[in-house]
Amino acid sequence: MIKVLAKAFAVYEEVARKSTVRPVRCSEIAEACQIAPATVMRLLQTLVRLKYLRQVSRQAGYTIGPKAHSLAWHTYYKSPLLKIAAPLIIEFANCNQCSIALCERVGLEYFILCHENKSEKLNIRWERISYRDFLGTAVGMFFSAYASPDEQQQIFAEKLGDYRRFFPQETDCLKCFEGIKKNNFFFFEEYPIAILSFGIFKDQKLVGCLGVTIELDKFQSRKKELIAEIEMLALQIEQTISVVDAIS
């Protein structure tokens, strides 16, 4: 039963992500979710019967159904936090013509709670709602720095081999983590962009992270001011966090 539920949610999430542009076919879902096509078809038929999905046509595929809309309408994840944080994030993206995301770590995944891209030159797209690449992104690095030693070892086992050119040894990565915790931000420059991450805390516990991507020339021209602005934005968001929002 648990495996069936996991597969059903994987299928549902895949349709929810992709069907904003066009309906999604069974074969596409099966390939993306790595589930047998026959199983995907049975799950699709069940979700259509329950009205969480809608079959546009046999050829076109599937899209979100009315029950999905009802579920989203009545249930908002961390609504009080996002109600205040989202306008601040949009304003920051507009003022700096950059991409900015508010993220949260749950176990060995981090989730995108809110994202805004106002740069005409940066093609920043979050194609999924969650990621496991902790050593290849500024947000992932920040979350890794505050992960437990056991979680860090799992991250190293899963991803360190992909980033040996940056971190030849585990100790190199751990030193970077120490710098992140000391400075409360992380950034790296890789032409033509600069990528930054800043922590959001509640009662000295890391509960979220801001990830900013900006054109390199814009970052270099006002580096200190931009870092100060992101720190202020993180502080504004911290001040809105409720007890419920701090649970992660």
Among 72, 88, 107, the domain boundary falls at 72
Mind listing the pLDDT tens digit for each residue in 21-61? 789 999 999 999 999 999 999 999 999 999 999 999 888 89
Residue range(s) defining the domain that contains residue 135? 79-238
Residues 15 and 49 in one domain: yes
Residues 66 and 136 in one domain: no
The predicted model scores a pTM of 0.78
Which residues, 6 or more positions from 153, have their beta carbon under 8 angstroms from its beta carbon? none
Report pLDDT for 127.
72
Amino acid in the structure at residue 153: Q
Asked if the structure places residue 83 within a domain, the reply is: yes
**Closest residue by Cα to residue 131 from 158, 98, 157, 166:** 158
Among 55, 72, 89, the domain boundary falls at 72
**Closest residue by Cα to residue 210 from 189, 183, 237, 191:** 237
Report pLDDT for 2.
78
Q: What's the Rg (C-alpha) of the chain?
A: 20
Among 43, 72, 101, the domain boundary falls at 72
Mean pLDDT of 108-128: 88
Mind listing the pLDDT tens digit for each residue in 167-198? 999 999 999 999 999 999 999 998 899 999 99
Give me the half-sphere count of Cα atoms (radius 13 Å) on the Cβ side of residue 29.
29
Residues 85 and 198 in one domain: yes
Mind listing the pLDDT tens digit for each residue in 64-93? 888 887 776 656 677 778 888 999 999 999
Residues 146 and 47 in one domain: no
The domain total for the chain is 2
Q: What is the domain-level CATH number for residue 213?
A: 3.30.450.40
